[in-house]
Amino acid sequence: MSDALVTAHDLTKRFGDFTAVDSIDFEVQQGEAFGFLGPNGAGKSSTMRMIGAVSPITSGSLSVLGLDPATQGPELRSRIGVVPQEDSLDVELTVAENLMIYGRYFGLARSVIRPRIEELLDFVQLNGKRDEKVDKLSGGMKRRLTIARSLINQPELLILDEPTTGLDPQARHVLWDRLYRLKQDGVTLIVTTHYMDEAEQLCDRLVVMDQAQIVAEGAPADLIVQHSTREVLEMRFPPGTQEENIAQLSGLAERMEILPDRVLLYTPDADATSTEAHARGIRPVAQVSRRSSLEDVFLKLTGRSLVE
């Protein structure tokens, strides 16, 4: 037995004929932020629901906090926090009441919950909204309240399913900042996302999921080094001329990805490649040089984009 907080081996989930999770293996260590990166429908949420002990596993093995989700569900759930993909707040109740009743679900005494509510509202910067009805909150505030709610039982492990989907950039940064602090306080995080920037920002280690399987595993920087070049040159051509230009690009870069609206050239030095392309008489209407990202890793591994 390792000292991993979550251990999955050959973990599989089937709904009838459909295989949502196809014998995956992973381990999450104490104190790390672990990510599941993949497009919608890759099997991330199903995996999260199995970890959260609300979805029975079909086959394989899964242990969370050393417990078996199938037989020790209630005990397991009392020690973790869950931020679901869709907010499930009680819209008829106020912000503070939502935290109170959720704490009660864990069997906590009111006198224990009350100080925690103040603490958590501080933490997610909602203290001004204490007695506001949830109805009246913005999307970002609701998300923060959901996070505060998931912390009411002081969980050892926090599971976040697509925590920032649908939020504006500013609200996302506020949320990320709160999650860093949690990590600093020693809470283990498991995050699913289909945003590569989120995965790079938040995760110490991640697995890339596609079509129910894990296609790569490692730290974000290592994955990029392993599966992509240092830089990428993106070129956009006048409509209808992409194909003729592609013919001239061959041999310029280590690897080339052709997307409907642009061409990606993978190269150690984007500026050098750009100069060389211009020398060949190639004239794109727009071009960008940038560092490789997880998006490129995903493209290489699956041949598809993360966000369609």
Partner 1 sequence: MTTLLMRVIPLPLRSAQRAKYVFERNVMVYRRGWMVIFSGIFEPLFYLFSIGVGLGGYIGDVTGPGGELVSYTAFVAPALLASSAMNGAVFESTMNIFFKMKYQKTYDAMLSTPIGVPDIAVGEISWSLVRGALYAASFMIVMAGLGYVESWWGLLAVPAAVLIGFAFGAVGMACSTFMRSWQDFDYVTVVTLPLFLFSATFYPLSVYPPVVQQLTRFSPLYHSVELIRALTFGVFDWSLVGHIAVLIGMGALGTMVVGRRLHRLLLT
Residues within the interface to partner 1 (CB under 8 A): 15, 52, 54-56, 73-75, 77-78, 82, 84, 86-93, 97, 100-102, 104-107, 153
Residue nearer to partner 1 on the CB measure, 70 or 258: 70
State the minimum distance, in angstroms, from the CB of residue 39 to partner 1: 21
Nearer to partner 1, 87 or 204 (CB): 87
| Shortest Å distance, C-beta 231 to partner 1 | 43
CB-based contact 41:308 (threshold 8 Å): no
The distance of closest approach from Cβ of residue 101 to partner 1 in the complex, given in angstroms and rounded to an integer, is: 5
What Cα–Cα distance (Å) separates residue 201 from each residue in 175, 196, 219, 261?
12, 9, 11, 27
Name the residue nearer to partner 1 (CB basis): 101 or 225.
101
Measured distance CA(190)–CA(20) in Å, rounded? 19
Please check whether residue 264 is in contact with residue 256, taking contact to mean a CB–CB distance below 8 angstroms: yes
Given the complex with partner 1, which of 150 and 228 has the nearer CB atom?
Answer: 150
Q: To the nearest 5 percent, what fractions of the chain are helix, strand and coil?
A: 35, 25, 35
Beta bridge partners of 64: 6, 67
Cβ pair 216, 223 in contact under 8 A: yes
* 159/199 with CB nearer partner 1: 159
Residue 217 CB contacts under 8 Å (≥ 6 apart), including other chains: 26, 205, 206, 207, 208
Shortest distance, CB of residue 113 to partner 1, whole angstroms?
A: 12
Q: How far is the CB of 159 from partner 1 (least distance, A)?
A: 9
Helix (H) or strand (E) holding 174: helix 169-184
Least distance CB 95 / partner 1 (angstroms): 13
